[in-house]
């Protein structure tokens, strides 16, 4: 699915992010402020483009997510393609492209709403993947999918919220390392090293 937006809508979205950078409290951002920043009247933005700032945010969510969602669906429906290869080659580069938007949305507290949006979309897709590969655990595939999606979101948001996030080519090895380690392993590995040195 390709989301087509007009040049004016793109300018309004860019103006929204500029206003967001200037206003630490996202609840104070108004449609009028965004319209003023782009050189339009509030009425024109309201009538022809977005009814309120929530509609602008929803469009941003869709713009960030559209290609990721399509690629993920294609992956689940494909044969013989590793999940970790998909994350490495497809997912991380797409997220990196939108790093500036994602960082600003997270820092201004909009990301929490976006996370709910992503969880609702991606948990069923990962559950479908687990059903397809016949994953057998004492936990349900839904439960495992929920943990997996939340872990991906946690790692990627921490990466992209860095002041200067590493390019995908440098970060992907760390990403895979984190995915292959449990929180227990990450917290106790230093203890294990210290005990072996002692």
Over the chain (198 residues), what is each successive 10-residue block's mean pLDDT?
77 92 82 95 94 90 85 82 84 89 72 76 89 81 92 89 90 90 79 51
- Domain 7-51, architecture per CATH: Orthogonal Bundle (1.10)
**What pLDDT, on a 0 to 100 scale, did the predictor assign at position 185?**
86
Closest CA to 5 of 74, 55, 39: 55
Helices (H), the chain: 7-22, 31-38, 42-48, 53-77, 83-86, 92-97, 99-107, 111-133, 141-160, 168-180, 183-197
Distance CA 168, CA 92 (A): 6
Sequence-ordered list of residues with C-beta below 8 angstroms from that of 182, at least 6 positions apart, any chain: none
Query: In terms of pTM, does the model score above 0.95?
Result: no
Are 112 and 102 spatial neighbours (Cβ–Cβ below 8 Å)? no
**What pLDDT, on a 0 to 100 scale, did the predictor assign at position 193?**
46
Annotated domain spans of the chain: 7-51, 53-188
**What pLDDT, on a 0 to 100 scale, did the predictor assign at position 42?**
95
**What pLDDT, on a 0 to 100 scale, did the predictor assign at position 112?**
65
Are 33 and 25 spatial neighbours (Cβ–Cβ below 8 Å)? no
| Residue pointed to by tokens 């290609």 | 67
Are 23 and 107 spatial neighbours (Cβ–Cβ below 8 Å)? no
């Amino acid at each position: 699915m390709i989301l087509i937006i007009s040049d004016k809508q793109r300018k309004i979205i860019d103006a929204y992010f500029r206003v967001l950078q200037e206003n630490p409290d996202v609840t104070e951002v108004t449609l009028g402020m965004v319209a003023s920043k782009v050189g339009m009247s509030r009425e024109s933005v309201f009538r022809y483009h977005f009814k309120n700032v929530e509609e602008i945010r929803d469009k941003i969510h869709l713009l960030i997510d559209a290609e990721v969602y399509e690629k993920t669906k294609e992956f689940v429906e494909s044969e013989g393609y590793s999940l970790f290869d998909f994350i490495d080659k497809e997912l991380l580069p797409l997220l990196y492209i939108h790093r500036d938007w994602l960082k600003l949305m997270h820092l201004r507290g909009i990301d929490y709403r976006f996370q709910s949006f992503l969880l609702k979309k991606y948990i069923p897709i990962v559950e479908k993947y687990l059903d397809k590969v016949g994953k057998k655990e004492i936990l349900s595939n839904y439960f495992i999918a929920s943990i997996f999606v939340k872990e991906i979101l946690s790692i990627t948001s921490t990466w992209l919220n860095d002041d200067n996030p590493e390019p995908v080519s440098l970060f992907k090895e760390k990403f895979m390392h984190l995915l292959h380690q449990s929180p227990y392993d990450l917290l106790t590995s230093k203890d294990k090293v210290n005990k072996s040195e002692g």
